[in-house]
Amino acid sequence: MTPQEKSKANYQKRKAYHQAYREKHKDKAQQYRDEHKAEAHEYKKKLYAENKEKFADENKQYYALNKEKVIAKTKEYCQNNKEKVNKYKLLYYINNHHKYVAASRKRKAARIQRTPGWLSESQLRMIECFYFEAKMLEVETGIKHHVDHIIPLQGKNVSGLHVPENLRVISAKDNLIKSNSYEC
């Protein structure tokens, strides 16, 4: 065997060894990841919590540079994981139902121009809290509750505004009986 042939044979031997080791290492690494999945998740969660602003900035920069790519990838993920995405959306809706109700009520009130433009962010959050409180009372008592406008938005003699000072949480039965009347 010539030195060139020996060298080529050694090369093939080393290549086969590294290939075999790579597969073995890959299997061990995967096994380790599977066994320590929870720890890795907690570590990543902690790291993210400690560096939230940094990650947010990096994500914004990446999105700005790769907007089309991110949108395409998101669409692809949603199409390939419809069931998972729908479950997540449903869970989010269930956990944040009060926000949906508050937004719906705000839209309705805005349609009839009863939400003033001068409302601050804190007042808007207070309005959301009324809807959250109604939902919590419903869960605790088992009795449906509504957010009532003390001075109705479309009263016969007087019309109120969609502001926190004009809201209260009452049972659905009482709210339906009251209808759009104003009680002093």
| Contact yes or no for 125/83 (Cβ under 8 A) | no
pLDDT grade for 114, boundaries at 50, 70 and 90:
confident
| pLDDT tens-digit series, residues 94-111 | 999 999 899 888 867 765
Residue 140: domain span = 96-178
Within-domain flag for 45: no
> CA-CA distance, 96 to 132, in Å (whole number)?
9
Within-domain flag for 169: yes
Within-domain flag for 163: yes
Average pLDDT over residues 121-131: 92
| Tokens of residue 174, six digits | 């009482």
Within-domain flag for 26: no
Backbone angles phi, psi at 167, to 5 degrees: -115, 150
Q: What is the pTM of this model?
A: 0.45
Structurally, the chain folds into a number of domains equal to: 1
pLDDT grade for 26, boundaries at 50, 70 and 90:
confident
| pLDDT tens-digit series, residues 30-66 | 888 889 989 989 999 999 999 999 999 999 999 999 9
Within-domain flag for 165: yes
